[in-house]
Structure 1
Amino acid sequence: MFRHTTRVLATAVVTALATTAVPAATAAAATPSASGTSDPFYTYDGGKALSSYAPGAVLKKRTLQYHIVGLPTPVKAVQLLYRTNDAQGRPAANVTTVVRSITGDGSKAVSYQSFYDSLNPQDGPSRAIAGDVTLGGVIANAENLFLVPLLAKGYNVVISDTEGQTADFAAGPEYATNTLDSIRAATDPETGTGMDGDTKVGLMGYSGGAIATNWAAALAPKYAPDVNRRLVGFAEGGLLVDPAHNLKYVNGAVVWSGVIPMAIIGVARSYGIDLKQYLNSYGLQVYSALEHGSLLNALGHYPGLTWKELAKPQYANPNSATEFLEAVNKINLGSAATPTVPGFIAQGNGGVVEGTFGNPPGIGTGDGVMVAGDVRALARQYCATGNDSIAFHQYNLLSHVPVAAAWAPGAIGWLDDRFAGRKAPSDCGHIPSGNSLAPEQPTPVS
């Protein structure tokens, strides 16, 4: 059974991630839809001010059939509109989906964070589940197979739209609040999901989903202590730690350089920055093309792209774009708190396979998009700051896509053990050294 599950997961993950790594011809021709929605469920229209509700409060509820690429299945899903906070700490409404296991009793749940990475809220997993079909939503649809083993094991699965309703791509702190308040909403006994305040929860996510997973684990003790006490652990792979390092690592890459404009648009949007002040005419052109795009609109479409090609000459060094740099430092996990629950972290280091040949001084190599030295440094930092329950594995010959398939079965098995109450393994003391995760310092405008 385990071998069969492993094969299913491997196939699902490779299929899903391969669609992001090698864009299809249809992606090139697609025109990203504008943000916003015609579905009234996503809009808070109550008489009370949104700020009057506590984070995690349920604002709306609906039950619908679970859809895969627009086709309804017999599986039922509960969707909740709930109160949360955005990256700037402002009250916001977001949507999460709960899928109940037919074999479970509601005592355990996995909060699964999707890697739907997009600048278009229409690509969120809740919309794919509701039956919407978009190009960027292909990723969330492909992840459906990821959920089958969890449901079969008796876990209820909670799937938040981690980027929020404005698709604040890469804004880790907002990913965290959306995730933690999603768990609060899903385990509110009044929602009828079969869960309550005693339901144990595990966090799981890869790549973009790892951003939400790690930030949620890091912020939970302070932001959501009620959730933190019920967390059994966090399992993640392919993690973004220090975005300033990643921008330099993928600079000029064949496939992954497309995340440069995506990241700077997402960060600017999240923190209300006028990014256009730093961009040249070509940068503005790329900005316009990707403002509401997804990974499928970005990856492979800008081979060899660099920050310098997008920026005005005086901002050739991204550290000279002061407002942008300040925002990037806010989403550096190295400056966030240490999680208090056990963690399982996996990372690849064979990025040349996916066309990333960079090896910048002080940054080094990675899996094609994520920096291996940053992930090692973060794991070591956690060990050194009181969390000795960190399991870590680096796949030296594998890149971002295949590591997902290698990581997933182990992540589920690791979560199984945490729910069973078994002692978490530790690799503390055996993790190789990594990079400095100190905040980036500004440089003068040239």
Structure 2
Amino acid sequence: MTGTRTAIRQTRRGAACALALLLLFCAGLVAGVGSAAAQSAAPPPVPLPFADPFYTPDGPIADLAPGTVIESRSMSYGSLERATPLTSTQVLYRTTDQAGGPSATVATILRPLVPGPARLISYHMAYDALGSECDPSYTLTGNGTPSQAGIAEQGVIAGYLAAGYTVVVPDYEGPDLEWTIGRQSAYAALDGVRATIDHLGLPASTPVGLAGYSGGSVPTQWGAEMAPTYAPELNIVGAAAGGLPVNVAHNLPYVSGSTSWAGVIPALVVSYQRAYGLDTASFLSDYGRQLVDTVSSQCINAFAADYPGLTDAQMVRAPYTSLLDIPAVVSAIGDNVMGTTGTPRVPMLLAVGNVDGIGDSVMVTADVAGLAHEYCTRGVAVTYAQYDRLGHSEAFVPFQAQTAQFLTDRFAGVAPTSNCQGA
């Protein structure tokens, strides 16, 4: 018992350290501020992923087991076009696409500065990308211009590293940048964990935590849902997902006409066209086609708020009045509704803001609460957190703080609690 209490105290101190670093980073006091950061060198330039041969397997991969490392390399680790003393390892590994076929993507592996017990966090950045310059494997080298969310997430990652965790950050949208696509994102995350365990020679029993907010909630939630059938050998101890797009059919009318989030509408069309081969010419308006072409290689910070007041109806031509009038679109969305494919076997933290009685300005609060309740009825230990009066961006910080404590308890073996009956 004494050893268990000591382990819990140590991991809670680690969580406190992670949270402190997160808050400092979000306040602008870490990474990129001050004379030391100003004097640091720029990172070595690297080609964009779409032009980098490392991202493309040299030969067939269909016969490789999911999670097999195809190639690896050491890379710089940086932020805001500044290098750090840290290095990362990138692995190209075999994974599976939405249709069940072989695919390959890249993950970034970061080791803690102070070695300790093997503990692995698969951290899923909300890179929400349609172009490869947004890939975490690229921005985590210090190259490119990450979004404000990406900058803050590097603070979160720094906190976990300081607390002694090994962190793997997968490019879970895959080589074609298919944003919000559920099973594929899960496979990439789970196979990234497999690749990390194999590459580092970690025990197969290494405990693993999954975490992600907003776009990063997709591989987190779907990863927990698919793990029992796709990667049952992994020792996942908990999953924390915040700001979840549970059912995009509900998000679309919510963001239609929004001043801050309407730009996600054409971006979602791009993603579903890539993943499902939608015949967009048969239903997009001229303006809709123009917007789809414009956003097709951008990151979310370039499109989300750039089309204030854009409506779903403006995207389509007569006789359609909404993207939800298109059977192929409805079918693609239905294939990505959370909670419909499997049941997690690990404790879950599900969280969302509620700024207007409907949602956090982009995610629908009742959808997340409903998912928590549904999982509860299936016997999953779910902690549901609702951040009232906070929008999507503002809810990021309390979610990360709660996630740090949630994962600390899971790694320490603290018995999970559940409040999902009240969700």
Q: Which residue pairs with 2:397 in the alignment?
A: 405
Q: Supply the AA of the counterpart residue of 2:348.
A: G
| Residue number in structure 2 paired with 1:312 | 317
CA distance in 1 between partners of 2:49 and 2:17 (Å): 40
Of 374, 380, 385, which residue of structure 2 is paired with 1:381? 374
Q: Is the 1:98–1:186 contact (alpha carbons within 8 Å) kept by the matching residues of 2?
A: yes
CA distances 1:185-220 after superposition (whole Å, capped 9, x unpaired) = 0000xx2x2523121100011111111100100011
1:166 and 2:176 equivalent? yes
Alpha-carbon offset, residue 102 of structure 1: 2.4
Equivalent pair of 1:12/1:143 in contact (CA under 8 Å)? no
Q: 2:58 & 2:142 partners in 1: Cα distance?
A: 23
Structure 2 residue aligned with 1:21: none
| Conservation of the 8 A alpha-carbon contact between 1:106 and 1:156 | no
What's the counterpart of residue 396 of structure 1?
Answer: 388
Q: Would you say the 8 A contact 2:122–2:193 is kept in 1?
A: yes
Deviates more, 1:317-326 or 1:233-242: 317-326
Is 1:185 matched with 2:195? yes
Paired with 1:146 and 1:61, the residues of 2 have a C-alpha distance of: 25
1:39 aligns to 2:49 (yes or no):
no
Shift of 1:374: 0.3
Q: Determine the C-alpha separation between the residues in 2 that align with 1:54 and 1:264.
A: 32
Q: Quick one: structure 1 residues 390 and 147, their matched pair in 2 at CA, closer, same or farther if it must change by over 3 Å?
A: same
Q: TM-score, normalised by structure 1?
A: 0.84
- What SS class does the counterpart of residue 95 from structure 2 fall into? strand
Where in structure 2 are there 5+ consecutive unaligned residues?
1-12, 29-46
Counterpart of 1:161 in structure 2: which amino acid? D
The answer to whether the 8 Å contact 1:115/1:206 transfers is: yes
Inter-CA distance 372–137: structure 2 relative to 1 (3 Å threshold)? closer
What are the equivalent positions in structure 2 for 1:216-365 lying under 5 Å apart? 216-227=223-234, 230-350=235-355, 352=356, 365=358
| 8 Å Cα contact 1:13-1:146 kept in structure 2 | no
- The residue type equivalent to 2:127 in the other structure is Y
Report the RMSD for the aligned CA atoms in angstroms.
Answer: 2.0
Letter of the 1:274 counterpart: D
Q: Give 1:405-424 correspondences, 5 Å limit.
A: 405-424=397-416
Aligned to 1:20: none
Structure 1 residue 35, shift from structure 2 partner: 8.8
Q: How much has 1:304 moved relative to structure 2?
A: 0.9
- 1:143-195 Cα offsets, whole Å, 9 max, x none, are 2111122111111001001111111011121110110110000000xx2x252
Match of 2:113 in 1: 102
Contact 1:65–1:72 (8 Å) recurs in 2: yes
List per-residue Cα deviations over 1:346-397 (Å, max 9, x = no partner): 11010x5xxxxxxxxxxx710011000100100000001121x101111121
Deviation at 1:77, TM superposition (A): 0.7
Unaligned 5+ runs, structure 1: 16-33, 353-363, 432-446
Measured in 1, the distance between the counterparts of 2:80 and 2:54 equals 20
Paired residue for 1:155? 165
Q: Given residue 411 of structure 1, which amino acid in structure 2 is its aligned partner?
A: T
**TM-score under structure 2 normalisation?**
0.88
Alpha-carbon separation, structure 2, partners of 1:283 and 1:197: 48
8 Å Cα contact 2:315/2:323 also seen in 1: no
- Please give the alpha-carbon distance, in whole angstroms, between the structure 2 residues aligned to 1:12 and 1:219: 33
In structure 2, what is the Cα distance between the partners aligned to 1:427 and 1:284?
Answer: 45
For these two proteins, the number of residue pairs brought into alignment is 392
Contact between 1:104 and 1:156, CA under 8 Å: does it hold in 2? no
1-structure distance, mates of 2:313, 2:393: 27
Percent of paired sites with the same residue: 36
SS at match of 2:278: coil
Q: Check whether the contact 1:105–1:194 (CA below 8 A) recurs between aligned residues.
A: no
Instruction: Measure, in 1, the Cα distance between the counterparts of 2:407 and 2:329.
Output: 37
Contact 2:173–2:184 (CA under 8 A) maintained in structure 1: yes
- What is the CA-CA distance between 1:43 and the residue it aligns to? 1.1
Q: CA deviation at 1:274?
A: 2.2
What is the CA–CA distance in structure 2 between the aligned matches of 1:36 and 1:102, rounded to whole Å?
27
The answer to whether residue 16 in structure 2 is matched with residue 9 in structure 1 is no
One-letter amino acid of the counterpart of residue 405, structure 2 = G
The DSSP-based 3-state class of the residue aligned with 2:422 is coil
